[in-house]
Amino acid sequence: MTTETHTVHGTAYDRLLDLSRERALLESSSGILGWDSETMMPTGGLEYRSRQLAQLARLTHGLATDERIPELLEEAAAQEGIGPAEQANLGQIRRDHSIATRLPATLVEELAKASSIGQHEWAVARERDDFDHFRPHLEHLLGLSRRKAECLGVPEGGEHWDALADTYEPGMTAAGVEAVFTPLRERLTNLISDLEQSTSKPSNAFNEAECPIESQEAFCRMVAGALGFDFERGRLDRSVHPFCGGSHCNDVRLTTRFQPTEVNDALGSTMHETGHGLYEQGLPFEQVGTPLGESVSLGIHESQSRMWENQVGRSRAFWTWCAPHARSMLGGAIGGLSDDELYQGANIVRPGFIRVEADEATYNLHIMIRFEMERAMISGDLEVGGVPEHWNRLYTDYLGLEVPDDRRGCLQDVHWSMGAIGYFPTYTLGNLYCAQFFEKALEELPGLEAGFERGEFGRLLDWLRSNIHRHGRQYPPGELCERVTGRPLSSEPLMNYLEGKLRPLYGV
Amino acid sequence: MTTETHTVHGTAYDRLLDLSRERALLESSSGILGWDSETMMPTGGLEYRSRQLAQLARLTHGLATDERIPELLEEAAAQEGIGPAEQANLGQIRRDHSIATRLPATLVEELAKASSIGQHEWAVARERDDFDHFRPHLEHLLGLSRRKAECLGVPEGGEHWDALADTYEPGMTAAGVEAVFTPLRERLTNLISDLEQSTSKPSNAFNEAECPIESQEAFCRMVAGALGFDFERGRLDRSVHPFCGGSHCNDVRLTTRFQPTEVNDALGSTMHETGHGLYEQGLPFEQVGTPLGESVSLGIHESQSRMWENQVGRSRAFWTWCAPHARSMLGGAIGGLSDDELYQGANIVRPGFIRVEADEATYNLHIMIRFEMERAMISGDLEVGGVPEHWNRLYTDYLGLEVPDDRRGCLQDVHWSMGAIGYFPTYTLGNLYCAQFFEKALEELPGLEAGFERGEFGRLLDWLRSNIHRHGRQYPPGELCERVTGRPLSSEPLMNYLEGKLRPLYGV
């Protein structure tokens, strides 16, 4: 593509920010095209759309690796008037540039190609329940991922996994994850085993009731608005897989999906994506296109989605407010359910094979299994051929289940077929950050949950805005956690929250 | 923006086409963002969206003016194996490059700014019915347009208007337009005057009947599909102003609008945009991004939209097929209308103040008035201060109307406020091309209209595909017209068509 002459103006810092804004602007256009692909695009548009996105990705990569950046960074560091916020911007720009330039273009292309083929062949293998079909592709992707880790730089005393995971969650290491996962696993498996043995089960009537899709959609839209999602700066549509996408804080696009039953699945998905969306809408528009206008990490993002989905959306206080709305808007069988039945239906815990269908307690065990496996795969301790057997053994160990086939086993998730090694733990880190943040919010905002009973969610949103959203990427995840909660990430708050809610519900 | 290294590969011709495809790919992304702005984007996204589009426009302009193009054109012209199709591609690339490079960047920016301000101030002026508020902006825009014409090159013996009009309709000149408009005006005003004096008026019941928007939408969607619009390669949505947009031939996006009454307005708009969409879907995907994969001109595009809207959608044969569907799908008062009442309702001719509400006969007089005025404005023969008076006098002369205010007069259209001088006549040229093409189709396809009675529209579409769509931009408009119809553009076919239909309908 052609060279564009940039008038050299402003300080080195200003010029770095201009480059950052240019890159983000292109990415934001990709964001809309990506959203469109999943929601609006006719099927015929698929081939050309991939060319459009590849072109924008190429242009974005060109900006991310702009050769002027190192010199400008050096100049800017010595510049006057650089305070902590500006330092943070520079630090993140340095980090992004470093990641972008460490990966050779040939490797990036090989990975993109292997990922595209991998996803296709994974879908075939899953459809046929044939792991061997996927096996060579996974081996190839792991090989490329190892090379990627080496290009990024394996930390001293660390693992290949660490280098990959750091791109999703800055600072995350396998050892660090293990340190929080180990105590979490112990309390969690105890809790789940107690719940399973309970003779007093919550009612599942809510999840079995049928309800017209249109009513579900209106209901979910009402709840998203009540939580604070600004529909003047966002949308809610349908897609096969729910997501939060779009362009920037003033144009945030949520999607959800509906089935004839399982209304709480649609509601939970909507509240989850609304949580992501509230974070995005809370980022400062005046910083758009610079790190201070971006979200911190996948884990912190997930903490926001989980908070509205779980800590809010599965609380008794929420259902005190929500139940009358659910009964009147959803009608039918749901119109006859009590507050308690709705609350209980939102809180069923039941070990299952499928991660994306898991409840908030067992979900984390699914993640631990994946973490353990991908760590062993990338280090070479686990041969790809042994994946199904190892997977199934872990499902027995962690969840007490006999996996019936690989479709409901090691072929269920798309992540590895995309070459995304080091991604899974961010889901559970999100749950952990979330519980720790929420515990702090309860402490700092007396009567918070009583407000939920009256449909008052603005206090929590304001607290998240001022403690988390408005900072953009100023603080790395661990530092943000300590600043907000006064201590490092721990599994205690999540377990206290889960036990405090689920033991009474199951009478154990 | 950064330089991207292009591997020099292939012949000069191949490299020119690569550049063309790169540019078109970027434009196609803008196309989706533009469509999104009008249909999906939350209002909050407006500010950043204009930045996204400006960035893509900047990048596109960079490619359109790429400094390698002149040399590659020279090399390619001498290259072996360049046949007529390749010659056409080269000719169009030369033309586009010449237009893009003749306009200095400063003028392009000034025009973009004046157009943006102009549209805003025009909207204010129209709202307040205050032409004087708009006057200085129009004067400024005319001054810039004159400069634009000079940069583009005023043809010898021609006018400033010609240089501007050529960018919309290659080869169009004021003298050429006048030559077809003069006889057209005479027959048209005679016809309209006869129709007005007729004592036997067609029934207007169809246009007065109320109908739920959802039924109208389902009906319009059904008709678009029946005409041949491929919903696997396109969509139909709602917007304030109907348009046909999107990305390329496999992703074509139509919009329409609905009111409680005036169902035929929604249907006509839908069939009009469907006509544009069928042209787009008929362009060859294998040529996407090169001139041979693009449409010829605004006039030829309009010929396609008008054919489905008017020659098909206002024909008795169409209503023989459509009437039962209309009665059953639209129900209510429409359910009780006869075939004749529906056909008549689609063919009311009545002089009015507003161009976009005009019927297919009087419409062309609105265009002639605008052509006459803008030609005089750009040449300096008409001072901007005299616009309202001149406008009103022409409406009396051409349509026998006393214009009550400037909102319903010279402030009604957005075009001049955007600096689009030379655009209006393409609407009537479209009607003329359309009638001449359709006359030929009737001659070459015996029983064509009898097929419409049975809902068979594929023969017409196939004829348009093979005679017009598949050629892309291989032939300029005038040449295409002669190739398809065997003679140069004339006003005869349009007048024969209008008289042949409307005189019997009005009994004159």
Q: Classify the complex by whether its ipTM is higher than 0.85, answering yes or no.
A: yes
Write the residue in A25, A42, A62 that is nearest to B4 by C-beta: A62
Q: How far separated are the first and last CA of chain A, in Å rounded?
A: 65
Chain A residues within an 8 Å CB radius of B230: 44
Q: Which two tokens stand for residue B169?
A: 């309709």
Instruction: Find the closest chain A residue to B68 by CA distance.
Output: A2
How high is the pLDDT of residue A5?
37
Q: Report the residue of B15, B21, B29, B283 to disrupt the A interface, i.e. the one with the largest count of A CBs within 10 Å.
A: B29
Distance set, CA B378 to CA B305, B415, B427 (Å): 29, 14, 19
Q: Which two tokens stand for residue B129?
A: 């019915």
pLDDT per residue over B236-263, tens digit each? 999 989 999 999 999 999 999 999 999 9
Catalytic position from the list B27, B273, B341, B499: B273
* Statement: residue B7 has pLDDT above 80: no
pLDDT per residue over A418-456, tens digit each? 999 999 999 999 999 999 999 999 999 999 999 999 999
How high is the pLDDT of residue A7?
42
**Pairwise CB contact (< 8 Å): B4 & A1:** yes
Write the residue in B51, B67, B247 that is nearest to A25 by C-beta: B51
**A-B contacts at Cβ under 8 angstroms:** 135
Q: In which band, very low, low, confident or very high, does the pLDDT at B445 lie, cut at 50, 70 and 90?
A: very high
pLDDT per residue over A315-362, tens digit each? 999 999 999 999 999 999 999 999 999 999 999 999 999 999 999 999
Write the residue in A33, A44, A288 that is nearest to B32 by C-beta: A33
How high is the pLDDT of residue A105?
87
Chain B residues within an 8 Å CB radius of A29: 29, 33, 52, 55-56
Instruction: Find the closest chain A residue to B23 by CA distance.
Output: A1
Q: How far apart are CA A303 and CA A428, in angstroms?
A: 9
Judging by DSSP bridges, how do beta strands A244-248 and A251-256 pair with one another?
Answer: antiparallel
Q: How confident is the prediction for chain B on average, in pLDDT?
A: 95
Length in residues, chain A = 508
* Statement: residue B8 has pLDDT above 50: no
- Burial of residue B157 (CB within 10 Å: 0-12, 13-18, 19+) is exposed
Chain B residues within an 8 Å CB radius of A23: none
> How far does A335 lie from chain B, in Å, by closest CA?
28
**Pairwise CB contact (< 8 Å): A42 & B248:** no
Mean pLDDT along residues B187-212: 96
How high is the pLDDT of residue B4?
40
* Range name among A443-452, B105-114, B288-297 with the lowest pLDDT average: B105-114
Q: How far apart are CA A277 and CA A255, in angstroms?
A: 10
Whether B214 is catalytic is: no
**Pairwise CB contact (< 8 Å): A62 & B230:** no
How high is the pLDDT of residue B169?
97
Length in residues, chain B = 508
Q: In which band, very low, low, confident or very high, does the pLDDT at B9 lie, cut at 50, 70 and 90?
A: low
How high is the pLDDT of residue A9?
60
How high is the pLDDT of residue B105?
87
- Look at the block and give the residue holding tokens 């069939």: B271
* Statement: residue B1 has pLDDT above 90: no
How high is the pLDDT of residue A83?
92
What residues of chain A score a pLDDT lower than 70? 1-9
DSSP secondary structure string, B190-208?
A: HHHHHHHH-S-PPP-HHHH
Mean pLDDT along residues B393-414: 97
- Three-class secondary structure of residue B254 per DSSP: strand
Q: Comparing C-alpha atoms, which of B34, B38, B89 is closest to residue B57?
A: B34
A251 near A277, Cβ under 8 Å? no
**Pairwise CB contact (< 8 Å): B44 & A235:** no
B483 near B325, Cβ under 8 Å? no
Chain A residues within an 8 Å CB radius of B65: 2
> Facing residues of A238 across strands?
A256
